[in-house]
Structure 1
Amino acid sequence: ILLDLSAAFDTVNHQILLSTLEEMGVSGSALSLFASYLTGRSYQVTWRGAMRIATCLADISKWMTTHHLKLNLDKTELLFLPGKGCPHRDLSITIDDTVVMPTQTARNLGVTLDDQLSFSANILSVTRSCRFLLYNIRRIRPFLTDETAQVLIQALVISRLDYCNSLLAGAPATAIKPLELVQKAAARLVFNPPKFSHTTSFLCSLHWLPVRACIQFKTLVLAHRAVKGTAPSYLQAMVKPYTPARPLRSAASGRLVAPSLRGPGGRSTRSRLFSVLAPQWWNELPTDVRTAESLPIFQCRLKTHL
């Protein structure tokens, strides 16, 4: 039987602990050391002069109670995202006398987040659900026309591959490989070709962008909205139009300022930032794509280019 105490460090009675240690033979300077550590000590975490997260959650709980709502503490999760070089501390938060312990993964709006933001858990989840759907569709494929199979697969499988895929911008090829294999399996299921047939022509016939191109498409659409001022303000602040020091022909090419990869977080981490990746991909586009008059025209030209 493996027993565990809930929030033992926070709930243990210090006087009982000291008395127990004394009864076990701990005395003198050793007992004084424990007594000094446990007596009269307190701490709090503040950020910009204000309490952080526990007080915020207490306010939320109070507001919900006032409005006849109730937090489901059994499903409340804590995800700790440490910065580079930050020691991984054993955090816990107390809400309404319930201790919430940190978890390695948490699901939010259909996306599985992990404490390293690698999205490996999300890719695994999407891959499993898509393969399960493809398995079921394959069983009824003999009774479907090609057109019906395409509609069914696009609605159930491709939509899952596309959902929030811009979060994977800049991810290594090895991480995205499982999603690409699912897409190829989906294309084969539509046309029922011989085994091991190449899928490039199938993707073109279906007008499906490869997974990596889909990710790039989503990111560049966000960049276009940021450039045109229709994106949220925090995204607009991440891109800046390129203005040459003196009048040049490139001033009208619609390029963006490419930020440096040097800075906090390391080169590999910064290369996945929207503020770094979006200008890089944007500047690589042909001029007629970058200078498209409207979003629909931009999307059409961008998909053709990709």
Structure 2
Amino acid sequence: MSRIMKELTCNYHKFADDTQLRGSEIPEKGSILMADKLEQCEERVKDWMLCNKLKQNDNKTKALKVVTRSQCSRAPGASLGVGDHGIAFKPYVKNLGVYLDSQFSKSRQVSHICSTSYLEIRRVAKIRRFLTKKAATQLVCACVTPHIDYYNSLLAGISTDQLSRIQRVQNSAARVILQKKRRDHVTPLLNHLHWLPVQQRIQYKLGTLAFNYFHGTLPPYLSSKLTKYSPTRSLRSSSQLLLTVPRTKLKISWTKILPISKSLHFGTHFP
């Protein structure tokens, strides 16, 4: 599969039994060509799988078109054609537990964090009177905090409204542990529990990644994306441990997630 994708110059990423194809182009110039390239790559991958007794799980195959709101109407096509079937573009896809939407607004991911966290908070609240403070804290840290911290570095730069939604989740968890009312001021509660607010938790995660980069302990697939800041002339910032902020240019991006399943002799498919 990797050889086929390289021959067609398609960007790809493989994780366990999931394979992703990626590409980006400026909508006015090459979006149609990029769609044709992905369709051709997908067709060849599907043929290769059939020849090797494998079956693509079409029900789990999804496509995502990442564009700005203004570019959405200029990006052609509502689906990618594969053989006699078409893979419609979804408003969002789930990738390793993270929801990615077509505008990268993170709104779907924030909604997922809030819904799953509130469910766990309600469960803890029902049995809170039977728990000690230490047990309640451990339970919340095990069942609620992981939802807030999971891939929270991707939430850097989200809007204040979205950040406030996640902060309210943490506030509710603190009130449940300390058995406080809804209108009680939450800052002393967070200080008492030694919890960083959500914004600081995100900054702490980014700071940890930067620290690992400068000390050579960051994985290569992440460190290769970072560049140490080196000014062209002598500046006071030259001696500081800084990273270069890359310049960005908005393009249309196509992502297709292809879960692969192996066909057994009795016809059952395991994703």
TM-score, normalised to structure 2, is 0.70
In the alignment, the residues of structure 1 paired with residue 171 and residue 52 of structure 2 have an alpha-carbon distance, to the nearest angstrom, of 50
**Secondary structure of the residue that 2:94 maps to in structure 1?**
strand
Compared CA separation, residues 243 and 45, structure 1 to 2 (3 A): closer
In the alignment, the residues of structure 2 paired with residue 122 and residue 175 of structure 1 have an alpha-carbon distance, to the nearest angstrom, of 10
Amino acid corresponding to residue 62 of structure 1 in structure 2: D
What's 1:77 paired with?
62
What's 1:8 paired with?
none
Greater relative contact order structure (CA < 8 Å, 6+ sep): 2
CA contact (8 A) 2:114 2:169 kept: yes
What's 2:220 paired with?
232
**Secondary structure of the residue that 2:241 maps to in structure 1?**
coil
In the alignment, the residues of structure 1 paired with residue 85 and residue 245 of structure 2 have an alpha-carbon distance, to the nearest angstrom, of 47
In the alignment, the residues of structure 1 paired with residue 133 and residue 76 of structure 2 have an alpha-carbon distance, to the nearest angstrom, of 54
The structure number with the bigger radius of gyration is 1
> Following superposition of structure 1 onto structure 2, how do residues 145-184 of structure 1 map, counting pairs within 5 Å?
145-184=132-171
Identity among equivalent pairs (%): 30
Q: Does 1:115 align with 2:122?
A: no
Q: What is the number of residues matched between the two proteins?
A: 218
**Secondary structure of the residue that 1:238 maps to in structure 2?**
coil
Deviations 1:45-68 (A, max 9, x none): 545xx9611122123323433443
* Cα drift, residue 250 of structure 1: 5.2
CA contact (8 A) 1:77 1:100 kept: yes
Unaligned runs of 5+ in 2: 1-30, 251-271
Q: Larger % of helix: which?
A: 1
Q: Does 1:241 align with 2:229?
A: yes
* Cα drift, residue 127 of structure 1: 0.6
**Secondary structure of the residue that 1:80 maps to in structure 2?**
strand
In the alignment, the residues of structure 1 paired with residue 231 and residue 90 of structure 2 have an alpha-carbon distance, to the nearest angstrom, of 46
In the alignment, the residues of structure 1 paired with residue 232 and residue 237 of structure 2 have an alpha-carbon distance, to the nearest angstrom, of 8
* Cα drift, residue 234 of structure 1: 5.8
Deviations 1:210-233 (A, max 9, x none): 111111111222222333343435
CA contact (8 A) 2:69 2:103 kept: no
Aligned mate of 2:120, from 133, 139, 145: 133
In the alignment, the residues of structure 1 paired with residue 136 and residue 89 of structure 2 have an alpha-carbon distance, to the nearest angstrom, of 43
Q: Does 1:55 align with 2:43?
A: no
Q: Does 1:144 align with 2:131?
A: yes
Deviations 1:151-205 (A, max 9, x none): 1111111100111111111112111111000000001111112442222222223
Amino acid corresponding to residue 146 of structure 2 in structure 1: S
Unaligned runs of 5+ in 1: 1-43, 266-306
> Following superposition of structure 1 onto structure 2, how do residues 2-21 of structure 1 map, counting pairs within 5 Å?
none
In the alignment, the residues of structure 2 paired with residue 133 and residue 118 of structure 1 have an alpha-carbon distance, to the nearest angstrom, of 25
